[in-house]
Amino acid sequence: MADGYNLCIAVIGSGTIGLSFAALHLSHPSKNIKVIIYDPRPDLNEYIESTLPGYLNATSPSLSSLRASNRLVLSSSLVSAVESADVVQEQGPENVSFKQSLWPQIEAAASPSALFWSSTSGIPASIQGANMQAPYRLLIVHPFNPPHIMPVLEIVPPDQHASKAYIDKTVSYWRTLNRNPVILKEEITGFVANRLSFALFREAIHLVNQGVVTAEEVDRIVEESMGPRWAVKGPFWSYHAGGGEKGLSGFLDKIGETVQACWDDAGTPELRDGEDGKEAAWRKALGEQVEGAYGVLQERDLRERDEKTRSVLEITRGD
């Protein structure tokens, strides 16, 4: 509680995820969330002035008004950013030793009741918090990019030290922002959303690599079949529906043989170098194909994608 605001959130790191989360907190319906953005970059002020407005929604106060009312504060000092915070949300470099050295500094400077969240895309809380006094305070809050638009958040507590009270407080806050936190029961590699996405991506790479379809054709197929289907109803619901009265079991009875045949025939491209030390040949060819199809994407392409995504979610969630 600072400056009369209900909650103060220190956002550590101002890359695209940090900016997106900052904008999301500032959009809180209570208008009573203070955000401190910490980043050691020397041009922090100019950088935030030029980038953050792109993330704020249309009804948000202007950046200058947010700053004048201290609802948004920029800081180049980690200690002063976190000492008054109720929540510290980290999105620094994806590097184990960086995070293991950062968290004890945050823990030493922050209030004993502050919540600690990491947006890491892959480093589990139990590893990040190895040097903390109270590692149970640290939770992964993993977004799907960009978090100011995508509702789901994967909450992954450290396997050995989960604290129900910290998880409950975290979940409550996100629900007030109309987000959908899902608590994973295990600290699994890559968490859930990326594992699912990468499984499809792997098969997509294989099919392009085999010459069955182009990368652009894969995108068209997905955009006009699974994408809209799964935006409305996820895979289990959908296959449950596909089985009629017998549900998912009926579906597996009916076309399980085809499913198994596809699994047996699925490709296994590798990203690691081959035994000869060479990069996999498909990487270069695929990169060139995608570059040829789409060119270098511009800011406006991403904005258009984000606007459409927002409209889709209004339909599917009734937002």
Q: Which of residues 42-61 bind its own copies (CB under 8 A)?
A: none
Q: Which of residues 126-155 bind its own copies (CB under 8 A)?
A: 144-145, 150-152, 154
> How large is the C-alpha radius of gyration of the chain?
22
- Other Cβ atoms less than 10 A from the Cβ of 124: the count is 21
CA-to-CA distance for 11 and 242, rounded, in angstroms?
44
Which segment (6-14, 43-51, 161-169, 266-274) binds its own copies by CB under 8 A? 266-274
**Quick one: which of 30, 45, 62, 210 contacts its own copies (CB under 8 A)?**
210
Which segment (36-44, 65-73, 79-87, 220-228) binds its own copies by CB under 8 A? 220-228
Least distance between its own copies and beta carbon 131 (Å): 23
Least distance between its own copies and beta carbon 223 (Å): 5
Examine residue 65 and tell whether it contacts its own copies (CB under 8 A): no
Q: Which residue has the tokens 């149970």?
A: 136
Least distance between its own copies and beta carbon 250 (Å): 9
**Quick one: which of 3, 234, 281, 303 contacts its own copies (CB under 8 A)?**
234
Q: What are phi and psi of 139, to 5 degrees?
A: -125, 140
User: Which residues, 6+ apart, have CB-to-CB distance to 122 below 8 Å?
Assistant: 94, 189, 190, 191, 194
Q: Residue 113 or residue 180: which is nearer to its own copies going by CB?
A: 180
Least distance between its own copies and beta carbon 276 (Å): 17
Q: Which of residues 96-125 bind its own copies (CB under 8 A)?
A: 121-122
Least distance between its own copies and beta carbon 202 (Å): 6
CB-based contacts of 38-41 (< 8 A; 24+ apart in sequence) = 38/10, 38/11, 38/12, 38/13, 38/14, 38/75, 38/76, 38/77, 38/78, 38/81, 38/82, 39/12, 39/13, 39/14, 39/74, 39/76, 40/76, 40/78, 41/14, 41/76
How many residues form the binding site for its own copies (CB under 8 A)? 104
Examine residue 2 and tell whether it contacts its own copies (CB under 8 A): no
Q: Which residue has the tokens 């293991």?
A: 100
Closest CA to 214 of 295, 293, 305, 114: 293
Which segment (21-29, 125-133, 168-176, 268-276) binds its own copies by CB under 8 A? 268-276
Written as six digits, the tokens of 296 are 């270098």
Q: Which residue has the tokens 């950062």?
A: 102
DSSP 2: B
Q: Residue 2 or residue 193: which is nearer to its own copies going by CB?
A: 193
CA-to-CA distance for 64 and 59, rounded, in angstroms?
14
Examine residue 319 and tell whether it contacts its own copies (CB under 8 A): no
**Quick one: which of 79, 101, 176, 236 contacts its own copies (CB under 8 A)?**
236
- Write the binding mask 162 to 181 for its own copies: x where contact by CB under 8 A, - elsewhere: ------------------x-
**Quick one: which of 4, 59, 164, 265 contacts its own copies (CB under 8 A)?**
265
DSSP 97: H
Q: Residue 63 or residue 252: which is nearer to its own copies going by CB?
A: 252
Least distance between its own copies and beta carbon 191 (Å): 9
User: Which residues, 6+ apart, have CB-to-CB distance to 278 below 8 Å?
Assistant: none
Q: Residue 15 or residue 40: which is nearer to its own copies going by CB?
A: 15
